[in-house]
Amino acid sequence: MLRTPSGGAGTGTATGSDRLVSIGTVLNQLRDEFPEVTISKIRFLEAEGLVEPRRTPSGYRKFSGGDIERLAQILRLQRDHYLPLRVIREYLDAQARGEQVQLPAPSGPRDLPAARWEAVPERPTAARVGKSELLAAAEVSEEELAEWESYGLIAPDPEGGYDAEAVTVAKLVADLGRFGLEPRHLRAVKAAAEREASLIEQVVAPLRRHRNPQTRTHAEATARELASLSVRLHSALVQTSLGVRLH
């Protein structure tokens, strides 16, 4: 389990003896304590300026030990204190300035003073973000987000938050929009994804209903692996189809 050293968060700057690692390695280290963290979440925290990994000449992210500790502290502050990113950034900045700052004791969001803390979901997770964070990450307006939601491309949870995958979807929809593809054009993509998800669910449903907890855990791992294979197959089929049509 990662532990943040007393006295502050990591600075995000590697020393000469600090080995730099890839984002995949970072994810593997964090998942022991934060099983719901994703690469999309790490990239989102970078986009929000909460961590600044180094970049190789070819553009790959490289994280230092300090970066990983800082990410762990951010995720703990979200999980244990229900803090929005704005407050976490202020807290870390104050620590970096050497200021003595106090955090509220871990408690549910209903107990937090409304005047000081932003509204957060009742059962927050490290991978959940609010609407303002989603809009900032995708660099879109509320009107655009509302249109995407009307077409079912993105949907908030019952508390009005979004998971990290919704951030990824928002960025991709925005990028496709720059090529003239509108939300109505993407309904077929959404429908195909739902069919693939239904197929995966058929495979893992018997495992999820099993009495053995290890078998149920295996079901989740199987679902993730099937999803990854499905995405790779979809990409290969699209590339094959394009190759046929362009030649």
Q: Which tens digits make up the pLDDT trace of 72-93?
A: 999 888 887 777 777 888 888 8
Which region among 3-7, 27-31, 35-39, 173-177 has the lowest average model confidence (pLDDT)? Answer: 3-7
Instruction: Compare 4 and 221 and report the one with higher pLDDT.
Output: 221
Q: How many CB atoms lie within 10 A of CB 219?
A: 18
pTM of the model: 0.45
Range scoring the smallest mean pLDDT among 12-16, 75-79, 114-118, 218-222: 114-118
Query: In the prediction, which pLDDT does 204 show?
Result: 84
Q: How far apart are the first and last CA of the chain?
A: 53
Query: What are the structural domains of the chain?
Result: 1-126 (1.10.1660.10), 127-181 (no CATH), 187-246 (no CATH)
Q: Which region among 95-99, 120-124, 165-169, 234-238 has the lowest average model confidence (pLDDT)?
A: 120-124
Query: What's the mean per-residue pLDDT of the chain?
Result: 78
Which sign does the torsion angle of CA 149, 154, 158, 164 carry? negative
What pLDDT was estimated at residue 11? Answer: 40
Query: How far, rounded to the nearest angstrom, does the alpha carbon of residue 234 sit from its chain's CA centroid?
Result: 22
Q: How confident is the model at residue 105 (pLDDT cuts 50, 70, 90)?
A: low
Structure tokens at 225: 């692996």
Q: pLDDT tens-digit profile of 205-234?
A: 888 887 777 777 778 888 888 888 888 888
Q: Kindly indicate the confidence band of residue 68, based on its pLDDT and cuts at 50, 70 and 90.
A: very high
